[in-house]
């Protein structure tokens, strides 16, 4: 990081090493320290972030989970009962109705993807101090 005597790349071995190592050192501007400390003091004076109200949210989350779970069970039941009827149905029915099981797979996949994205966003928000 020290400024070094510049020599031509052509005249010396390991020119790339020398060029990339020999950089002039930048000095911080006069207000840099004060600027950083001002922001630090602002953050130190700010009230701590409000934690997520888990106690209040948990009943709602449980109800939502129960509704979603119930809905998923009903959906699977509906699809399965539909599948038994469809086995007797004429072959020109739409493919989605005639082959319900792959649809269940897709629904499960979508639910799984939603859950994963929720977990990921929660984790990221937690890391960045938003929660």
Which of 10/56 has CB closer to other proteins? 10
Which of 4/114 has CB closer to other proteins? 4
Cβ count within 10 A of residue 52:
13
DSSP string covering 67-113 = HHHHHHHHHHHHHHHHHHHHTTS-TTS-HHHH-HHHHHHHHHHHHHH
Binding flags for other proteins, 21-40, as an x/- string (CB under 8 A)? xxx-xxxxx--xx-xxx-xx
The whole-angstrom separation of Cα 60 and Cα 66 is: 10
Which of 7/123 has CB closer to other proteins? 7
Locus of tokens 């911080």: 28
Q: Are 97 and 86 in contact (CB under 8 A)?
A: yes
Nearest approach in angstroms of CB 116 to other proteins is: 22
Site membership for other proteins, residue 121 (CB under 8 A): no
Binding flags for other proteins, 70-109, as an x/- string (CB under 8 A)? ----------------------------------------
Q: In Å, how far are 34, 48, 68 from 40, measured between CA atoms? A: 10, 14, 44
* Contact with other proteins (CB under 8 A) among 30, 43, 46, 92: 43
Query: Interface with other proteins by CB under 8 A: which residues?
Result: 1-2, 6-17, 19-23, 25-29, 32-33, 35-37, 39-41, 43-44, 129
């Amino acid at each position: 990081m020290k400024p070094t005597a510049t020599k031509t790349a052509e005249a010396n071995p390991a020119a790339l090493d020398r060029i990339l190592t020999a950089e002039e050192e930048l000095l911080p501007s006069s207000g840099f320290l004060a600027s950083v400390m001002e922001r630090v003091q602002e953050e130190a004076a700010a009230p701590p972030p409000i934690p997520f109200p888990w106690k209040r949210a948990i009943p709602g989350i449980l109800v939502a989970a129960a509704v979603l779970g119930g809905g998923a069970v009903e959906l699977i039941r509906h699809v399965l009962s539909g599948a038994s009827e469809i086995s007797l149905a004429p072959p020109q029915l739409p493919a989605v109705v005639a082959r319900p099981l792959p649809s269940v797979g897709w629904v499960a996949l979508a639910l799984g993807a939603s859950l994963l994205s929720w977990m990921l966003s929660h984790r990221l928000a937690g890391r960045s101090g938003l929660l």
